[in-house]
Amino acid sequence: GGRKSAMTRQAVEGWDPFVSLVRAHCGLRLDVPRCFTPRPETWVRHLFLPYTSTGTVVAVDGADFDRFGTHHSNFVLAKCGEYVTRTTDITKCSAFVWLMGRKEDVDADTDEIFRTFFVSTTTETR
């Protein structure tokens, strides 16, 4: 994936995941570091934010992810007026958020995002 690969490239010194992907598709040996420790300031996390209920979306709260110091990027799928079903797997989420920073900061921002992000829906079913 593009974002995760770009973030991994920043976290693992001397490794280019894009080159490794092309080499793998060509049947060549990968240039993966035998051992590495991610840089402490570049801990990476990809959050999948679920729909917690089924119905028509009436509000999306807490989607101002720029307020978090470890925010790298995000993509909000939830749109007011759309009918959604409760998330049962990672392919149907209300939003994706990518975080990067020191592990303790990423952990704190993860907790706060899960605590404050919410998609409100009607109780109708189809």
Instruction: Kindly report, residue by residue over 60-83, the tens digit of the pLDDT.
Output: 999 999 999 999 999 999 999 999
Which pLDDT value is given to residue 47? Answer: 94
Banded pLDDT at 40 (limits 50, 70, 90) = low
In the predicted model, is pLDDT for residue 29 greater than 70?
yes
Beta bridge pairs of residue 93:
50
The Cα 18–Cα 9 span in angstroms is: 9
The Cα 32–Cα 85 span in angstroms is: 40
Which pLDDT value is given to residue 69? Answer: 96
